[in-house]
């Protein structure tokens, strides 16, 4: 491992001359160090120092490289803006990083697209150009430490190492005990991203005001027509979720100050927020209706927002409410969290659509399409009371696939169809599966993922005080990252073993492999040169490190074993 580090270090020494010369380990260390300093100055209230450090970071080469890397590796890397330009070559990425400067920068209008929502309506997205996305990613590097430091403790949407499961865990803490609050204000903001007041944003978000104003006023192109943007921050921009979070930060802390911290605790007032959806608990409906709700409406009005009349309601916990795809309800005094009916219906609709649009597909291809969907849905609901929902969904999917199979062979007997499409596996009959031959001639079974086989596991919630830019919480963050990656990889046995043997680090740059960075399963000796598929011949690399390895002709070796994790 030491030899590898020396080899990579010597190969990447000196100032980079092209994209694949960049030392990503040094880049991330430089940016991380500056972000930690920004967060420290923010905690100490030294805002002039914060501003100076932000300016240094946004003008640094390391931050520019990292910004370009982010927009060329995320899901939107193949989606162009109004200029139809993509950065899909190393040369284009290198030129983009060199040209990413504030002087003379003028953002282009957004390209308007619409994506369907679960209620049948459409959600508008604004797609910035690659240059604008990279500039947003650059300034987000300087804004994120402040957003994480000043954010509400129980705000869980679009934040580092926080998820919907963490919000669910906090609600369980707030509602599960016998003495917990019995009443809930379930709130939803009407078109949050579309109505945020620009003047409030510019006055209150600690970033470059001129750049922020340009982004907000850039306009939108829809059907060839340029439309002005007088309010809101576009869904689709990299920095938009953080801006929306900062607009709503203070909902929890300021409400408790308004009520009085001791009184708020006595009245069992707790706020749990995920993006623009939030829940406020209280010990009486009168408190929520006459005191909490008016204050929330006033808080939002200053920011140009208002509550949705249809989706905002005050309910008793015995009646239950839906939040983030789950139903929270007490049965005889016991809080049970289950997949919501709306979430179950929406998921089945997606499964049905896949089956209906692949009536003539091969069985193994249909299984490969359905398995990631089924596994993803099962893992989302894994921390809650979902066994009954799993079994019901398994049955509904079974009926749909049985009709799919019968339709293909109208002149065959039911027994013939059963033998062709179904197997018995692990004492389980009627498994939708088939047997395939691999390249070596060995037989292997490919079967549909069983939702009911997913074990229920309690989610370990992140601390509300966790700040990824606080060095004193570094160990907590590393432990949290490893636990969640190991859980994510549990059903990918070989990748999991590689991840554990490498202690969760990329072999080339020695930086953490995360859900955000992704990974590439690399063969040390290429298969074309006789290398096998055994774990001894494979390592996990970041996608960017894998490209760098091939472009520069570098080699890696298997890290020496150092005991179990």
**Does some domain include residue 494?**
yes
**Does some domain include residue 238?**
yes
**Does some domain include residue 2?**
no
Among 310, 336, 362, the domain-final residue is: 336
Q: What is the spatial distance between Cα 158 and Cα 161, in angstroms, rounded to a whole number?
A: 9
Give the rounded percent of residues in the chain with a pLDDT score beyond 70.
Answer: 95
Pairing of strands 428-437, 422-425: antiparallel
**Do 167 and 44 fall within a single domain?**
no
Among 336, 360, 378, the domain-final residue is: 336
DSSP assignment string, 99-129: T--STT--PPPEEEEEEE-TTS-EEEEEE--
Average pLDDT over residues 125-135: 92
Per residue in 259-278, pLDDT tens? 999 999 999 999 999 999 99
**Do 132 and 93 fall within a single domain?**
yes
**Minimal CA–CA distance to 176: which of 384, 339, 330?**
330
Q: What dihedral do alpha carbons 128, 131, 136, 139 form, nearest 10°?
A: -170
**Does some domain include residue 503?**
yes
Token pair 């192109």 in the structure block, residue: 221
Per residue in 355-413, pLDDT tens? 999 999 999 999 999 999 999 999 999 999 999 999 999 999 999 999 999 999 999 99
Residue 70 predicted with pLDDT over 90: yes
Q: Which of 97-106, 327-336, 441-450, 535-544 has the lowest mean pLDDT?
A: 441-450
CATH number of the domain to which 301 belongs: 3.30.70.270
Contact 518, 543 (CB under 8 A): yes
Residue 438 predicted with pLDDT over 80: no
Q: What is the spatial distance between Cα 364 and Cα 360, in angstroms, rounded to a whole number?
A: 12
Average pLDDT over residues 168-184: 95
Give the rounded percent of residues in the chain with a pLDDT score beyond 90.
Answer: 66
pLDDT of residue 443: 77
Q: What is the spatial distance between Cα 287 and Cα 284, in angstroms, rounded to a whole number?
A: 5
**Do 189 and 243 fall within a single domain?**
yes
**Do 135 and 42 fall within a single domain?**
yes
SS3 helix, strand, coil % of the chain, rounded to 5? 50, 15, 35
**Does some domain include residue 50?**
yes
> Which residues are CB-neighbours of 357 under 8 A, at least 6 positions away?
none
Contact 383, 165 (CB under 8 A): yes
**Do 248 and 321 fall within a single domain?**
yes
Q: Sheet containing 220-222: which strands, arranged edge to edge?
A: 122-127, 110-116, 220-222, 225-227
**Do 162 and 289 fall within a single domain?**
yes
Residue 445 predicted with pLDDT over 80: yes
Per residue in 71-127, pLDDT tens? 998 888 888 888 999 999 999 999 999 999 988 899 999 998 888 776 667 777 888
Phi then psi for 321, rounded to 5 degrees? -150, 160
Two tokens, residue 395: 């049955």
Pairing of strands 220-222, 110-116: parallel
**Does some domain include residue 237?**
yes
**Minimal CA–CA distance to 211: which of 127, 131, 96?**
131
Number of domains in the chain: 4
**Do 193 and 262 fall within a single domain?**
yes
> Which residues are CB-neighbours of 532 under 8 A, at least 6 positions away?
525
The SS3 assignment for 471 reads helix
CATH number of the domain to which 488 belongs: 3.40.1800
pLDDT-based confidence at 249, cuts 50/70/90?
very high
**Does some domain include residue 558?**
no
pLDDT-based confidence at 561, cuts 50/70/90?
low
The SS3 assignment for 151 reads coil
Domain range spanning residue 262? 152-197+232-336
Residue 376, judged by CB atoms within 10 A of its CB (0-12, 13-18, 19+), counts as: exposed
Phi then psi for 203, rounded to 5 degrees? -80, -25
Among 419, 453, 487, the domain-final residue is: 453
**Minimal CA–CA distance to 38: which of 66, 57, 21, 20?**
57
Checking 75-81 for CB contacts under 8 A at 24+ apart, the result is: 76/127, 76/133, 76/236, 79/127, 80/111, 80/127, 80/129, 80/130, 81/108, 81/110, 81/111, 81/127, 81/128, 81/129, 81/130, 81/132, 81/133
Contact 215, 110 (CB under 8 A): no
Going by the DSSP 8-state scheme, the letter that residue 237 receives in this structure is B
Residue 64 predicted with pLDDT over 80: yes
pLDDT of residue 528: 67
**Do 42 and 100 fall within a single domain?**
yes
Two tokens, residue 466: 């966790």
**Does some domain include residue 179?**
yes
Q: What is the spatial distance between Cα 406 and Cα 262, in angstroms, rounded to a whole number?
A: 65
Average pLDDT over residues 190-206: 91
The alpha carbons of the chain give a radius of gyration, in whole angstroms, of 26
**Do 385 and 298 fall within a single domain?**
no
Going by the DSSP 8-state scheme, the letter that residue 560 receives in this structure is P
Strand partners, 184: 281, 315
**Do 299 and 162 fall within a single domain?**
yes
Per residue in 414-436, pLDDT tens? 999 999 999 988 778 899 999 88
Instruction: Give the Å distances, CA to CA, from 403 to 394, 414, 479.
Output: 14, 11, 47
**Do 90 and 187 fall within a single domain?**
no
Element containing residue 521 per DSSP (H, E): strand 520-523
Residue 515, judged by CB atoms within 10 A of its CB (0-12, 13-18, 19+), counts as: exposed
Residue 286 predicted with pLDDT over 90: yes
Residue bearing the bigger pLDDT, 546 or 393: 393
Full 3-state SS string of 260-313: CHHHHHHCCCEEEEECCEEEEEECCHHHHHHHHHHHHHHHHHHCCCCECCCCCE
**Do 136 and 27 fall within a single domain?**
yes
């Amino acid at each position: 491992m030491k030899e590898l580090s020396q080899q990579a270090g010597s190969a990447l020494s000196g100032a980079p001359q092209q994209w694949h010369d960049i030392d990503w380990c040094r880049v991330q260390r430089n940016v991380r160090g500056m972000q930690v300093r920004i967060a420290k100055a923010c905690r100490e209230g030294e805002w002039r120092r914060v501003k100076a450090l932000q300016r240094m970071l946004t003008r640094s080469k390391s931050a520019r490289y990292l910004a370009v890397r982010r927009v060329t590796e995320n899901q939107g890397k193949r989606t162009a803006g109004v200029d139809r330009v993509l950065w899909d070559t190393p040369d284009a990425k290198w030129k983009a990083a060199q040209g990413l400067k504030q002087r003379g920068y003028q953002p282009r209008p957004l390209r308007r697209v619409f994506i369907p929502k679960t209620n049948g309506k459409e959600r508008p997205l604004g797609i910035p150009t690659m240059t604008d996305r990279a500039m947003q990613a650059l300034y987000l590097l300087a804004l994120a430490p402040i957003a994480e430091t000043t954010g509400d403790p129980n705000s869980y949407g679009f934040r580092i190492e926080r998820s919907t499961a963490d919000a669910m865990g906090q609600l369980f803490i707030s509602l599960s005990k016998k003495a917990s609050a019995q009443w809930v204000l379930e709130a939803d903001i009407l078109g949050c991203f579309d109505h945020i007041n620009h003047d409030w944003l510019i006055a209150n978000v600690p970033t470059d005001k001129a750049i922020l104003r340009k982004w907000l006023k850039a306009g939108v192109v829809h059907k060839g027509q340029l439309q002005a943007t007088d309010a809101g921050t576009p869904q689709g921009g990299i920095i938009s979720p953080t801006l929306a979070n900062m607009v709503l930060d203070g909902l929890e802390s300021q409400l408790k100050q308004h009520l009085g911290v001791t009184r708020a605790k006595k009245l069992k007032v707790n706020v749990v927020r995920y993006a623009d959806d939030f829940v406020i608990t209280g010990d009486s409906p009168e408190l929520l209706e006459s005191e909490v709700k008016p204050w929330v409406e006033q808080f939002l009005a200053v920011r140009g927002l208002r509550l949705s009349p249809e989706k905002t309601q005050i309910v008793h916990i015995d009646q239950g409410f839906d939040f983030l795809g789950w139903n929270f309800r007490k049965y005889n005094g016991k809080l049970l969290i289950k997949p919501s009916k709306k979430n179950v219906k929406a998921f089945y609709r997606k499964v049905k659509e896949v089956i209906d649009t692949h009536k003539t597909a091969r069985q193994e291809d249909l299984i490969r399409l359905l398995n990631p969907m089924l596994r993803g849905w099962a893992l989302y609901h894994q921390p809650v009371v979902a066994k009954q929902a799993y079994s019901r969904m398994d049955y509904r999917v079974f009926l749909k696939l049985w009709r799919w199979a019968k339709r293909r062979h109208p002149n065959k007997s039911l027994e013939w169809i059963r033998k062709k499409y179904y197997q018995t596996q692990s004492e389980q009959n009627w498994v939708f599966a088939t047997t395939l031959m691999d390249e070596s001639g060995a037989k292997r079974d490919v079967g549909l993922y069983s939702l009911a086989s997913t074990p229920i596991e309690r989610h370990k919630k992140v601390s509300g005080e966790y700040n990824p830019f606080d060095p004193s919480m570094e160990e907590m963050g590393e432990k949290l990252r490893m636990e969640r990656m190991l859980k994510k990889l549990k059903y990918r046995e070989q990748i999991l073993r590689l991840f554990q043997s490498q202690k969760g680090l990329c072999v080339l740059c020695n930086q953490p492999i995360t859900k955000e960075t992704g990974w590439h399963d690399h063969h040390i000796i290429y298969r074309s040169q006789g290398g096998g598929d055994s774990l001894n011949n494979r390592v996990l690399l970041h996608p960017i490190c894998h490209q760098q390895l091939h472009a520069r002709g570098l080699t890696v070796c298997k890290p020496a074993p150092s005991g179990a994790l």
